[in-house]
Amino acid sequence: MFVRTALLVLRKDVAIEVKSREILYTTLLFAVSCVLVFAIAFVKEGEPLVDAAAGILWIAIEFAGTLALGRTFERERYSETLRALLLAPASRAAIYVGKMLGIVLLLAVAEALLVPLVAVLFHAPLFAQAALLAALLAAGTIGFAAVGTLFAAMLVRARTRDVMLPILLYPMTVPIMIGGVRGTTALLQSPADLPMAVMWIGLLGAIDIVFITLALWTFEPVMTE
């Protein structure tokens, strides 16, 4: 029942997105613009600075993710559908998981575009350790989406939600960003520092577990009314 509800919420979000493609396209274009802006700062005489690629990749993901989170819940607010969703005789936790999966899916698409883009533009051998990079991206994205979905949902009623979301989200995701950037940097070294990357994947996995557990607990008391 839980899984079915979560998948239903996810299917609803995907169906809306497939029709309008608004959030997907704006998020992708925003991520690409981020990369362009960073290129201006971190490329010197045609050569990117050492370790710049990992940072650019993760910051682009974080910025684009924040934008996508805001837009997803803005849509629910506009059509007053969040209330309907919460009134539905379904477990709140399942609704949260469905929403979170939607964000993870969206960010996965964005990453599928960002990774090759950063690899090409910043001469970074990102595909040398494709499996480990995928694991790192998955663990980081899930952690980010876990906190982000909860905070974005809580902020739906706040007037200042546009600016409050990044203010709350960035300090909270500091360990995720450090793990992602450092883990990617370890993979980009030659030779790649595999134990270090695996250590970061493990840490990100632990963060995911704690954050998702806490979010499942807090979503219920926070979203009442």
Partner 1 sequence: MRKLFGPLVVVAAVMFAYAPVMIAQAPFESTMGLVQKIFYFHAPSGMIMLLSAFVCGVASAIYLWRRNPAADHIAMAAAELTALFGLIVIVTGPLWARKAWGIWWDWDPRLTMSFVGWLISVSYLFVRKYGGPGSDKLGAALAVFGAANVPFVYVSVNVWRTLHPKTSVVPKLPPLLRGPFWFSFFAILVLYLLLLAARVHLERQRATLDELYLAEEES
Sign of CA dihedral 72, 73, 75, 79: positive
Of 34-42, 58-66, 129-137, 148-156, which part binds partner 1 (CB under 8 A)?
148-156
Binding test (CB under 8 A) with partner 1, winner from 147, 152, 187, 216: 147
Spatial separation of the C-alpha atoms in residues 37 and 69, rounded to whole Å: 21
171 near partner 1, judged by CB under 8 A: yes
- Please work out, in degrees rounded to the nearest 5, the angle formed at the alpha carbon of residue 156 by the alpha carbons of 83 and 24: 95
Spatial separation of the C-alpha atoms in residues 95 and 166, rounded to whole Å: 23
144 near partner 1, judged by CB under 8 A: no
167 near partner 1, judged by CB under 8 A: yes
**Based on CB atoms, which residue is closest to partner 1, 115 or 154?**
154
Spatial separation of the C-alpha atoms in residues 45 and 144, rounded to whole Å: 34
Binding test (CB under 8 A) with partner 1, winner from 103, 207, 212, 216: 207
How many residues bind to partner 1 according to rule CB under 8 A?
A: 31
Give min distance, CB of 14 to partner 1, in A.
27
Q: Is 54 helix (H, G, I), strand (E, B) or coil?
A: helix
- Please work out, in degrees rounded to the nearest 5, the angle formed at the alpha carbon of residue 200 by the alpha carbons of 129 and 98: 90
Spatial separation of the C-alpha atoms in residues 115 and 109, rounded to whole Å: 10
- Please work out, in degrees rounded to the nearest 5, the angle formed at the alpha carbon of residue 60 by the alpha carbons of 186 and 66: 125
Binding test (CB under 8 A) with partner 1, winner from 155, 187, 197, 212: 155
Query: Do residues 188 and 119 lie in contact, with contact meaning Cβ atoms separated by under 8 Å?
Result: no
Of 9-17, 21-29, 32-40, 214-222, which part binds partner 1 (CB under 8 A)?
214-222
Binding test (CB under 8 A) with partner 1, winner from 28, 53, 97, 168: 168
Spatial separation of the C-alpha atoms in residues 141 and 18, rounded to whole Å: 21
**Based on CB atoms, which residue is closest to partner 1, 22 or 162?**
162
Binding test (CB under 8 A) with partner 1, winner from 11, 157, 162, 194: 157
Binding test (CB under 8 A) with partner 1, winner from 96, 211, 212, 216: 211
Cis peptide before 175 (omega within 30 of 0): no
Binding test (CB under 8 A) with partner 1, winner from 89, 191, 195, 221: 221
Rg (CA), the chain: 18
Question: Which residues sit at the interface with partner 1, rule CB under 8 A?
Answer: 147, 150-151, 154-155, 157-160, 164, 167-168, 171-172, 174-175, 178-179, 182, 199-200, 203, 206-207, 210-211, 214, 218, 221-222, 225
